[in-house]
Chains A and B, each alone.
Chain A
Amino acid sequence: MAERGRTLAMGEDEATGARDTVEAPFGRALVAIARQRPEIVGLTADLGKYTDILPFRDAYPDRFLNIGMAEQNLVAIAAGLARTGKLPFATTYGVFATRRAYDYIAIALAHSGVNVKIVAGLPGLTTGYGGTHQAIEDLALMRMIPGLVVIDPCDATEIAQATAAIADYDGPVYMRLLRGKVPVVLDPARYRFEIGKAQQVREGGAIGFISTGMMTERTLDAAAELERRGVSAGVLHVPTIKPFDAATVAAFAAEVDRVVTVENHVVAGGLASLVAETLFEHGVSKPLQRIGLPDRFIECGSVPTLQARYGLTTAAIVATVIAA
């Protein structure tokens, strides 16, 4: 009998073992940026350990606030700090930021364009703690809020660059966080993250993958595997969900035989929906296959088991595309 997987700690490392990793890329980046930016304040709602913000606390204890398990208050306090000229980075889990503090993100932040960055751990299916902890619909919820920037970074390179980019951007941002040992997928010497820009990270024409977040790593691996099997596949990486780079997506889709979206999120309301809207609006008529999470709450379990079961692994992407 095969050994069964076991549910581990709340937030596990994102590394799949195939690539080099960086430990706590968000926390490291924030510490470095904050050296030049004394107005940066770090906040968390009792999840400092699990959102990689402890390096910031250790570097700048006077600029760090742990406000306890109170996500509405986390956002409200961050809003008040921003109104006195501070630049707050507030961390919690995606489920709590979006489900518990929605009105505060919408009204206290987005309505007035208040300069607060929400950094949200455990995106999609990256924890085995079940529906209470898996932010499977956060991108859909956040993209509905007027004026909010929504980012789903791919890897350690992009987290570091996006952290700097959102610090420079004057306005509210919701950014998904990969924590712990995070793989390096994008070459830091060549890749340049820009808010609102989709970037082609692999050439190829039969299959046009459009992916976001950590799924871009698995999609790149799936595209390489498909090529070994004689199927040409390109990958467009879309780290910014809002504002959405519709022009680049439409142009990319126009050049491929069929489009496959891949996201660590329910297939309703997130990347797949945005791509479908974009293709219709631009008159790009291509078959569209949507890879992502189903319309259901997901059980507890080990992350590798769950990701395989729900189609988020490289092997699952290859199999899904071949089967279509």
Chain B
Amino acid sequence: MARPNSPSDTPDLAALARRAANLRRHMLAMARGQGSGYIGQGLGIADLLAVLYFHELRYDPANLAWAGRDRFLLSTGHYSIALWAAFAECGILPVEELSTYGADDSRLEMSTLDTTPGVEIIGGSLGHGLGQGVGMALGLRMDGIEARVFVELSDGEMQEGATWEAAMAASHFGLDHLVALIDCNGIQADGPVVLDMEPVADKWRAFGFETREIDGNDLGAILAALAELRARTGRPKAIVLRTKPGRGVPTLEARERAHFVRVDPGEWDALVAEFEREAAHG
């Protein structure tokens, strides 16, 4: 049942773990139907999206246009599989629609367009998210609306210079209601990150962001970082999330760090069974 969400003072870790598992379950079903896709990245940020959509974000799945909502911008549009899973789980989209992922004329594109309910911007042309987040944060502040703007971006995406143009502006304008969520999964289109982006957290600190660096697959660490940053004022915020592509399915975690995972048709049953075994053991 879709209902308004807002951060709780006493987050239920077990409930969030169940949500994260559900997101992964949805994603495996979608990738299986599609036969391939960005399942590695999706599984990697499942924990972050579970915390955002079932704890941190103030939003109402039944009233997506609410001006006071917190915005979540997925800059890496090809992670759409994770966003569709979250939308289905929180009631923005019907779960049955997930089976259309990547199919012709489906709203659930391989790379996000903003015509799908709940999507704030067109992602996928990397480097577009943070700047638009800065613009939204400025607009909200001009109107005295206390909503926050969360922008997901990736380690590879930091190679796009516009990321740093946006970071400079966020800092200059003191946008303390802007949170950059940097998914560092170590991969990009050509394989393992082709330029060394380290030290990532130091870069964000140098640009004036209140920065935390955490295990991005640790629900407790994500909750703690968000809670800490909520209380801080005066500067924009960044969380560097070290995530594991394929998280939750050991075979996928161990597979060559591929940007676009291909799975043989006969493999899916084994992968899903592997995931369920892992999920059952917590």
Complex-state Cα separation, A83 to B166, whole angstroms: 17
Asked whether B168 lies within 8 Å of A81 as measured between CB atoms, the reply is no
In the complex, what's the smallest C-beta–C-beta distance from A291 to chain B, in angstroms?
A: 37
Interface size class of A (residues with CB under 8 A): 20 to 34
In the complex, what's the smallest C-beta–C-beta distance from B139 to chain A, in angstroms?
A: 3
B162 proximity list for chain A (CB < 8 A): 70, 72-73, 76, 104
Contact segment of A106-114, A121-129, A304-312:
A106-114
Indicate whether A41 reaches chain B with its CB closer than 8 angstroms: yes
Asked whether A108 lies within 8 Å of B139 as measured between CB atoms, the reply is no
Complex-state Cα separation, A146 to B269, whole angstroms: 44
Complex-state Cα separation, A88 to B135, whole angstroms: 10
Indicate whether B81 reaches chain A with its CB closer than 8 angstroms: no
Chain B 121-165 near chain A by CB (<8 Å), digits 1 or 0:
110010110111111111110110100000000000000011001
A104 proximity list for chain B (CB < 8 A): 128, 131, 162
Complex-state Cα separation, A62 to B113, whole angstroms: 32
List residues of A (134-176) whose CB comes within 8 Å of B's CBs. none
Asked whether A80 lies within 8 Å of B139 as measured between CB atoms, the reply is yes
Complex-state Cα separation, A76 to B57, whole angstroms: 23
Indicate whether A36 reaches chain B with its CB closer than 8 angstroms: no
B136 proximity list for chain A (CB < 8 A): 80-81, 83-84
Q: Given A70-B165, A83-B120, answer yes or no on A77-B143 (Cβ-Cβ < 8 Å).
A: no
Complex-state Cα separation, A7 to B100, whole angstroms: 61
Q: When A and B form their complex, what is the total count of cross-chain residue pairs whose Cβ atoms lie within 8 Å?
A: 99
Asked whether B143 lies within 8 Å of A85 as measured between CB atoms, the reply is yes
Q: Given A68-B169, A83-B121, A104-B128, answer yes or no on A76-B142 (Cβ-Cβ < 8 Å).
A: no
Indicate whether A202 reaches chain B with its CB closer than 8 angstroms: no
Please name the residue on chain B nearest to A101 by beta carbon. Answer: B162
Chain B 223-267 near chain A by CB (<8 Å), digits 1 or 0:
000000000000000000000000000000000000000000000
Please name the residue on chain B nearest to A67 by beta carbon. Answer: B169
Q: Given A76-B166, A108-B122, A112-B122, answer yes or no on A85-B139 (Cβ-Cβ < 8 Å).
A: yes
Q: Given A72-B127, A85-B143, A108-B122, answer yes or no on A77-B132 (Cβ-Cβ < 8 Å).
A: yes
A85 proximity list for chain B (CB < 8 A): 67, 139, 143
Q: Could you tell me how many residues of chain B have their Cβ less than 8 Å away from some Cβ of chain A? A: 31
Indicate whether B274 reaches chain A with its CB closer than 8 angstroms: no
Asked whether B133 lies within 8 Å of A80 as measured between CB atoms, the reply is yes
Please name the residue on chain B nearest to A69 by beta carbon. Answer: B165
In the complex, what's the smallest C-beta–C-beta distance from A171 to chain B, in angstroms?
A: 15
Please name the residue on chain B nearest to A73 by beta carbon. Answer: B165
Please name the residue on chain B nearest to A78 by beta carbon. Answer: B135
A108 proximity list for chain B (CB < 8 A): 121-122, 128, 131-132
In the complex, what's the smallest C-beta–C-beta distance from A318 to chain B, in angstroms?
A: 47
Indicate whether A179 reaches chain B with its CB closer than 8 angstroms: no
B137 proximity list for chain A (CB < 8 A): 80
Indicate whether A267 reaches chain B with its CB closer than 8 angstroms: no
Q: Given A68-B169, A73-B134, A76-B166, answer yes or no on A103-B125 (Cβ-Cβ < 8 Å).
A: yes
In the complex, what's the smallest C-beta–C-beta distance from A145 to chain B, in angstroms?
A: 14
Q: Most chain-B CB neighbours within 10 Å: which of A72, A77, A88?
A: A77
Q: Given A70-B168, A72-B162, A73-B169, answer yes or no on A86-B142 (Cβ-Cβ < 8 Å).
A: yes
A256 proximity list for chain B (CB < 8 A): none
Please name the residue on chain A nearest to B134 by beta carbon. Answer: A77
Asked whether B122 lies within 8 Å of A107 as measured between CB atoms, the reply is yes
Indicate whether A63 reaches chain B with its CB closer than 8 angstroms: yes
Contact of A81 among B127, B139, B172 (CB under 8 A): B139
In the complex, what's the smallest C-beta–C-beta distance from A42 to chain B, in angstroms?
A: 12
B173 proximity list for chain A (CB < 8 A): 65
B143 proximity list for chain A (CB < 8 A): 84-85
Q: List 30 A-B pairs, Cβ < 8 Å.
A: A68-B165, A68-B169, A72-B161, A73-B166, A75-B131, A76-B128, A76-B135, A76-B162, A77-B131, A77-B132, A77-B135, A77-B169, A79-B132, A79-B135, A80-B131, A80-B132, A80-B134, A80-B136, A80-B139, A81-B135, A83-B121, A83-B135, A83-B139, A84-B139, A84-B140, A84-B145, A85-B143, A104-B128, A107-B128, A111-B122
When A and B form their complex, which 7 residue pairs have the shortest distance between CB atoms, in order from nearest? A80-B135, A76-B131, A84-B139, A73-B165, A70-B165, A77-B135, A80-B132
List residues of B whose CB falls within 8 A of some A CB: 67, 113-114, 120-122, 125, 127-128, 130-140, 142-143, 145, 161-162, 165-166, 168-169, 172-173
A-B contact sample (6 more), CB < 8 A, given A63-B142, A73-B166, A83-B120: A70-B169, A75-B131, A77-B169, A80-B134, A84-B145, A85-B139
List residues of A whose CB falls within 8 A of some B CB: 41, 62-63, 65, 67-68, 70, 72-73, 75-86, 88, 103-104, 107-108, 111-112
